[in-house]
Amino acid sequence: MDLRVDQPLWLLLLIPIGFYFLWTWRKDKKIFKREGKVVFSIRILAILCLILGITNPYLLLPIKEEQVLFLVDRSASLQGTDKQITEWVDESLKSKK
């Protein structure tokens, strides 16, 4: 399992926004009451989510299915084995999920 983003360049937006919030934090740290701190963290969380949203993230899950190909030799030397082959293929198709 893998988490990937389509357009990682948008993550660069984090830099100026990060600086801005750091600056406001330094400036207003003292006058923030408890309420202010909560609002501050919610705001940062919201903006992080939005930036992640622009980068178009997706999960890569391994495919557990397999493609099965049947190659049937129908040359003259195998004449008369048609029925056997069909039965064999039918039999294998039964175990198909």
Partner 1 sequence: MGINQLIYSWTAIFPIAVLLYYFFRKKYVKKSVSSTLFWQEAMKETKASPYLQHLQRNALFYLQMLAMLLLVLALLQPYWKTKSIAGEQIVFVVDTSATMKVNVNNATSLFEQHRSKMLELVEELSGKPLTLITTGNEPVVLLRQEKNTEQMIKEINKLEISYEAENMSKSLDFTQSFFQDKATSVYIFTDDLERQSLPLQHENVSWNVEALTTEVTNASIKRFGATETANGISTLVQIENQSEKESTTELTISNEEKILVTEVVNLPPKETITLSFDELVNSSYLKANIDIQDSYLLDNENIIFMQDQLSNVFIDSTIHSLVRTAFQSLDIKVSSVPPEQVGLLKDEGMMVTNQFGVNIEDERPILYIGRNDAIPKEVNGNVQTTESPLFAFADLRDIYVSSVYPPIEGYTTIASVGDDPFIQTSPSGNIIILADIQMTDWPLSPTFPLFMWSVKEQLSSGSDYLGTFTPNERKPLSLGALDEWEIYTMNDEYEYAIENGGKFVAPNKPGLYVLRSKDAEKNLSVILPQEEKVIEKGTSYKVNGQQMNAEEDYQANSFVPFILILLILLFVIEWEVQRRRGFTS
| List of residues contacting partner 1 (CB under 8 A) | 13, 17, 20-21, 24, 28, 31-33, 35-36, 39, 43, 46-47, 50-51, 53-54, 56
Cα separation, 94 vs 30, in Å, equals 72
As measured in angstroms, the least distance from the Cβ of 75 to partner 1 is: 17
Which residue number, 32 or 85, has a Cβ lying nearer to partner 1?
32
2 and 59 Cβ atoms separated by less than 8 Å? yes
For partner 1, the closer CB: 33 or 64: 33
